[in-house]
């Protein structure tokens, strides 16, 4: 009744922001992302009949409150699936600095979904495992398949899951993550995206998302960096426009975020294959072709406001570990 799983976070090229069903995390639009190699969550789950409630340790620290409640609520889905009522000891750790502003909920719930179902002897299909991970955190469904991934939004639990559209080796992209602020987000993504419908721009963003998904998918499949850069920056800008025009307004970007985004646009004008995307936080993901990585790292180190740069290549999906 024990299993261990590994999963990577993912960076969205076409963003998920807003739900049709907030409890089930059925998204208002599809999204496309990349799993990030090297940044890893490792989670082991032991179902133990002697436990009186679920236990969670995160990076060696025993957790109570909201993180434990979230993990326990997720394990309830797994227990319902298995028609049993045994509590679990969950030990989870990230090899990337927690609180560095790298969203870890995607890799956390992807690893937990795989470890918990395997501990109970289930072998779910990839779509079923992706749907299950989605219940913990929407974007976690995109950390189950490998490489370049598309979340098919669907309309109900069973048909809202992610699939791989190309393996990690398909395209030599690198994500250079410029850390400008390590503090926790003021408004978590779940609370933030619950406001999306209050923005007059959200309906238009949703209506035009299929076109951007097509452009992004085609750009990836054809290795067309210019087309990729245009649609990725457009989609990130649209999500932040929705955030800023929500009631109450949300501003995740900081002055350093804007400075880096503007600098990268200039580097592209100079002929470099680089572009940016920003999630629900101030850090900037600079996506580039592998042969631009040294240039990007050097220039980022000279850019005021950048505290640290993490890099990640295309990564695999969730897998079992020993």
Let me know: does 119 contact 45? Beta carbons within 8 Å.
yes
Q: Using the rule CB under 6 A, is 18 a contact of ligand PMV?
A: no
Let me know: does 53 contact 34? Beta carbons within 8 Å.
no
Q: Using the rule CB under 6 A, is 103 a contact of ligand PMV?
A: yes
Residue 258 Cβ, how far from ligand PMV at the closest point, in Å? 17
Contact region with ligand PMV (CB under 6 A), list: 13-21, 53-61, 177-185, 224-232: 13-21
Which of 70/268 has CB closer to ligand PMV? 70
Token pair of 177 as six digits? 């993550």
Residue 26 Cβ, how far from ligand PMV at the closest point, in Å? 12
Q: Which of 190, 194, 289, 321 binds ligand PMV (CB under 6 A)?
A: 190
Which of 17/171 has CB closer to ligand PMV? 17
Q: Using the rule CB under 6 A, is 12 a contact of ligand PMV?
A: yes
Q: Which of 101, 138, 168, 315 binds ligand PMV (CB under 6 A)?
A: 138
Three-class secondary structure of residue 243 per DSSP: helix
Give the residue from 188, 179, 148 showing the smallest Cα distance to 306. Answer: 179
Three-class secondary structure of residue 64 per DSSP: coil
Compute the distance between CA of residue 192 and CA of residue 180 in angstroms, rounded to an integer: 20
Q: Using the rule CB under 6 A, is 280 a contact of ligand PMV?
A: yes
Q: Using the rule CB under 6 A, is 145 a contact of ligand PMV?
A: no
Residues in contact with 42: Cβ distance below 8 Å, sequence separation at least 6, in sequence order: 4, 5, 6, 92, 93, 94, 95, 111, 321
Taking each helix axis from N to C end, the angle separating 105-119 and 65-82, rounded to the nearest 10 degrees, works out to 40
Q: Using the rule CB under 6 A, is 15 a contact of ligand PMV?
A: yes
Give the residue from 96, 279, 256, 281 showing the smallest Cα distance to 183. Answer: 281
Q: Using the rule CB under 6 A, is 161 a contact of ligand PMV?
A: no
Which of 3/260 has CB closer to ligand PMV? 260
- For residue 34, report the phi and psi dihedrals to the nearest 5 degrees: -130, 135
**Residue numbers at the binding site for ligand PMV (CB under 6 A):** 12, 15-17, 31, 103, 105, 137-139, 189-190, 279-280
């Amino acid at each position: 009744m024990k299993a261990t799983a590994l999963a990577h976070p993912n960076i969205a090229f076409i963003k998920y922001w807003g739900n049709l069903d907030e409890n089930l995390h059925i998204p208002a639009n599809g999204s496309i992302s990349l799993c990030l190699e090297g940044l890893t969550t490792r989670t082991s789950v032991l179902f133990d009949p002697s436990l009186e409630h679920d236990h969670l340790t995160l990076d060696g620290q025993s957790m109570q409150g909201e993180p434990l409640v979230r993990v326990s609520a997720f394990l309830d889905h797994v227990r319902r699936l298995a028609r049993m009522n045994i509590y679990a000891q969950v030990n989870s750790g990230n090899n990337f600095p927690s609180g560095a502003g790298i969203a870890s909920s995607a890799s956390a719930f992807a690893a937990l979904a795989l470890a918990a179902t395997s501990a109970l002897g289930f072998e779910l299909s990839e779509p079923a495992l992706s749907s299950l991970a989605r219940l913990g955190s929407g974007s976690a469904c995109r950390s189950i398949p490998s490489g370049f991934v598309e979340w098919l939004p669907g309309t109900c639990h069973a048909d809202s899951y992610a699939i791989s559209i190309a393996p990690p080796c398909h395209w030599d992209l690198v994500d250079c993550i410029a850390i400008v602020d390590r503090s926790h987000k003021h408004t978590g993504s779940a609370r933030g995206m619950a406001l999306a419908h209050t923005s007059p721009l959200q309906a238009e963003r949703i209506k035009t998302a299929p076109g951007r998904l097509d452009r992004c998918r085609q750009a990836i499949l054809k290795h067309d960096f210019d087309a990729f850069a245009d649609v990725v920056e457009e989609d990130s800008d649209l999500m932040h426009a929705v955030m800023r025009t929500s009631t109450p307004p949300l501003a995740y970007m900081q002055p350093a975020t804007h400075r880096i985004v503007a600098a990268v646009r200039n580097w592209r004008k100079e002929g470099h294959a680089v572009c940016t995307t920003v999630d629900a936080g101030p850090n900037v993901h600079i996506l580039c072709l592998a042969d631009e990585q040294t240039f990007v790292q050097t220039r980022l180190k000279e850019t005021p406001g950048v505290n640290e740069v993490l890099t990640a290549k295309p990564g695999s999906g969730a897998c079992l570990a020993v």
